[in-house]
Structure 1
Amino acid sequence: MMFGDLRRFDIGRPQGLDWVRQLMDEVFPEGGPADIRSVPRGSFPMINVGRTDEAVRVYVFAAGLSAGELDVSLQDNVLTVAGRREPAAEEKAQQTHFRRERPHGEFSRSVALPDGLDIERAEARFRNGVCEIVLPKREELKPRRIEVQAS
């Protein structure tokens, strides 16, 4: 038998509903898109967007880049982060790669932002490979507490 040696390896079969979990892990691997609005795995740079009562905060994870290598722009409530990432020194060497997960080349990511942001007061800070972009909300859109007075 041509494949007789394969029977020597006990691969094990999933028990109970474990096979469903295994199948789901194959279809939706861990680290893949969190929901239907997420970008495909491997998108660069990765971005987190959150909000507080005061501002919308965008975190751009750009390890290996400097502040000058990022171009951050905002037009019509769409924030765009673009730039170019050069290949690492070992990637430039003539060698055979079996797997390469560090992306290089030009990149661009865009995020739609909500209305009501005070774009004139926007700030961006870069530290330890993370660019934090703070977009304050306009004063009239911030939540206010209304004092209830006894009559």
Structure 2
Amino acid sequence: MYRSLFARDMFAEMDRLQREMQQAFDLSPSIRGFGRGGFPALNVGSTPEAIHIYAFAPGIEPSKLEIHLDRGLLTIAGERPSSLPEQAAGTVHIDERFAGTFRRVITLAEDADPDAVDAKYTDGVVHITVQRRASAQPRRITVQ
């Protein structure tokens, strides 16, 4: 999307601001998390054996991330430092990179095992694997 540094059409600029404000407050109706927006961006999927969460958090040291699982709620929190120069050095015209503290909360399925959680950080992506309880695993029952 092309965006001018200086607004030429006041009505177009107001329309853009209104859309951005609407997106900021537009929440997903699901209790499993935000549908769009938020930091870090998430991909959540599952297999019969585990739940996989991918949190895209480039520029954050793994030691600065806090991941908690409590009563079926997975919380990913931390702080992303700003990479902008000091204000005295110049004027910033566009700042689209998120900086500051963040917190994302995801409701996990009831069969998630809180004792079998693994988190790995590779190339700015945190891959969290939550195993499902063995009692919830699909199994074949032989007929006698």
TM over 0.5: yes
Work out the CA distance in 1 between the residues paired with 2:45 and 2:35: 20
| Structure 2 residue 62 is matched with structure 1 residue 67 | yes
Work out the CA distance in 2 between the residues paired with 1:103 and 1:56: 27
Which of 76, 85, 89 in structure 2 is aligned with 1:92? 85
Partner-residue secondary structure (3-state), 1:121:
strand
Distance apart, 1:35 and its partner CA = 5.7
Q: What letter is aligned with 2:140?
A: R
Greater per-residue strand proportion? 2
Cα separation, partners in 2 of 1:73 and 1:87, compared to 1, 3 Å: same
Q: Identify the residue that residue 22 of structure 1 maps to in structure 2.
A: none
Q: Identify the residue that residue 15 of structure 2 maps to in structure 1.
A: none
Partner-residue secondary structure (3-state), 1:119:
strand
- Structure 2 gaps, min length 5: 1-18
Distance apart, 1:146 and its partner CA = 2.4
Instruction: Report if the CA contact (8 A) 2:54-2:125 is conserved.
Output: yes
Q: Which runs of at least 4 in structure 1 moved beyond 6 Å after TM superposition? A: 31-34
Give TM-score scaled by structure 2 length. Answer: 0.72
Q: What letter is aligned with 1:101?
A: E
Q: What letter is aligned with 2:86?
A: A
Partner-residue secondary structure (3-state), 1:122:
strand
Specify which structure has the bigger relative contact order, considering alpha-carbon pairs within 8 angstroms and separated by 6 or more residues. Answer: 2
Percent of paired sites with the same residue: 35
Distance apart, 1:41 and its partner CA = 5.1
Structural mapping, 1:59-138, within 5 Å:
59-88=54-83, 91-94=84-87, 95-138=90-133
Distance apart, 1:137 and its partner CA = 0.5
Distance apart, 1:96 and its partner CA = 1.8
Q: How many residues align?
A: 120
Q: What letter is aligned with 2:63?
A: G
Work out the CA distance in 2 between the residues paired with 1:137 and 1:41: 26
Cα offsets for 1:37-81 (capped at 9, x unmatched): 463754111111111010011111101112111100011100000
- Structure 1 gaps, min length 5: 1-26
RMSD: 2.6
Work out the CA distance in 2 between the residues paired with 1:36 and 1:142: 28
Cα separation, partners in 2 of 1:121 and 1:39, compared to 1, 3 Å: closer
Give TM-score scaled by structure 1 length. Answer: 0.69
Q: Find the structure with the greater CA-based Rg.
A: 1
